[in-house]
């Protein structure tokens, strides 16, 4: 599932490739993937200019002229591909296509079809506050150490689950949660209330470090993730614990353990993470 670094890679690519383009028409063979009415959706976007592409957490906002915004959820296997030439065949998993005036196409490919497109209206006030039900983006300037402390003190759970809670802070999924907690040297089962100030600080800086590094390497391709050119990310080579159960910890040679927290696979070094 694409997390913040993968979504940020796609958003940066889209701004380079299709910003300023006009949407001439839209095609879909998966009506259920469009929230609301397909005809209304087409009518609202056709003829509009792509002003820019933004990201809040793992959500993509395609901002069009006239205040129209298409909210894109990639979910499990969604991918946005920019094609310059008309392909000979429609790719099997392409379910929605935005045709652009220059001849380019923005294709939404989705193997498992959990992804969605939705028209939303964003007022200036909401823009400041983010999206309804979505917590603060972890790369937002307002996501300071004191804000992070406030967020983790707001829910009694373990550290791993609060990192994954999109209503509290947006952008981290299971891959990066495991890597962040390892980087910080904290046991993933530790309760948020047991964390000392120095430990919270270590987790906060691990979030910044791991996420920025993953963006630099254009995300992690463990299963389906591809960027807007269909290329894989490179951060999977840097993973220290995720899907490395049974292998040696790179810091201390202890065997990485696998467990489950909230039904999600969890990986940690029993020696380095206390």
Angle between helices 4-18 and 197-216 (to 10 degrees): 40
Closest to Zn ion by CB, 101 or 271: 271
Distance (Å, whole) CA 274 – CA 85: 53
Our finding on whether 181 is near Zn ion (CB under 5 A) is: no
Catalytic residue among 2, 5, 160, 179: 2
Distance (Å, whole) CA 58 – CA 97: 21
Going by the DSSP 8-state scheme, the letter that residue 80 receives in this structure is: E
Catalytic residue among 3, 21, 179, 183: 3
* Single residue of 100, 151, 186, 272 touching Zn ion by CB under 5 A: 272
3-state helix, strand, coil in the chain (%, to 5): 30, 25, 40
58 catalytic residue (yes or no): yes
Looking at the DSSP assignment, which residues form a beta bridge with residue 53?
A: 62
Closest to Zn ion by CB, 249 or 261: 249
Our finding on whether 129 is near Zn ion (CB under 5 A) is: no
3 catalytic residue (yes or no): yes
Closest to Zn ion by CB, 154 or 247: 247
Distance (Å, whole) CA 151 – CA 134: 13
Q: How far is the CB of 46 from Zn ion (least distance, A)?
A: 55
264 catalytic residue (yes or no): yes
2 catalytic residue (yes or no): yes
| CA nearest to 231, candidates 215, 244, 220 | 220
Our finding on whether 274 is near Zn ion (CB under 5 A) is: no
Closest to Zn ion by CB, 128 or 253: 253
Largest CA distance in the chain: 59
Distance (Å, whole) CA 222 – CA 2: 10
Looking only at residues 244 through 263 of this chain, which bind Zn ion when binding is defined by CB under 5 A?
Answer: 249, 251-252, 254
Catalytic residue among 55, 58, 63, 218: 58
Our finding on whether 159 is near Zn ion (CB under 5 A) is: no
Give the total of residues touching Zn ion (CB under 5 A). Answer: 7
Work out whether the CA dihedral 187, 188, 190, 195 comes out positive or negative: positive
Our finding on whether 271 is near Zn ion (CB under 5 A) is: yes
Our finding on whether 12 is near Zn ion (CB under 5 A) is: no
Residues at the contact surface with Zn ion, assessed by CB under 5 A: 249, 251-252, 254, 269, 271-272
Query: Hey, which residues are catalytic here?
Result: 2-3, 58, 264
């Amino acid at each position: 599932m694409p997390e913040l670094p993968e979504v940020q890679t796609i958003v940066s690519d889209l701004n380079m490739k299709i910003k300023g383009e006009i949407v001439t028409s839209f095609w879909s063979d998966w009506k259920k993937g469009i929230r609301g009415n397909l005809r209304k959706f087409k009518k609202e976007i056709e003829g509009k200019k792509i002003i820019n592409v933004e990201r809040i957490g793992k959500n993509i906002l395609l901002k069009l002229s006239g205040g129209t915004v298409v909210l894109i959820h990639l979910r499990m296997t969604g991918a946005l591909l920019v094609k310059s030439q008309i392909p000979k065949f429609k790719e099997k998993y392409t379910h929605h296509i935005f045709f652009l005036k220059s001849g380019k196409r923005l294709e939404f490919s989705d193997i498992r079809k959990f992804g969605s497109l939705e028209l939303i209206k964003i007022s200036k006030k909401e823009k400041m506050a983010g999206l309804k039900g979505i917590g603060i983006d972890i790369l937002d300037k307002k996501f300071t150490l004191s804000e992070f402390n406030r967020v983790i003190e707001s829910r009694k759970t373990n550290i791993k689950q609060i990192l994954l809670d999109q209503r509290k802070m947006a952008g981290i999924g299971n891959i990066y949660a495991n890597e962040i907690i390892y980087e910080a040297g904290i046991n993933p089962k530790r309760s948020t209330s047991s964390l000392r100030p120095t430990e919270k600080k270590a987790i906060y800086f691990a979030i910044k470090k791991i996420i920025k590094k993953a963006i630099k390497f254009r995300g992690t391709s463990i299963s389906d993730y591809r960027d807007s050119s269909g290329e894989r990310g490179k951060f999977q080579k840097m993973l220290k614990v995720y899907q490395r159960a049974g292998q040696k910890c790179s810091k201390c040679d202890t065997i990485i353990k696998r467990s489950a927290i909230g039904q999600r696979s969890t990986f940690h070094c029993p020696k380095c993470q206390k």
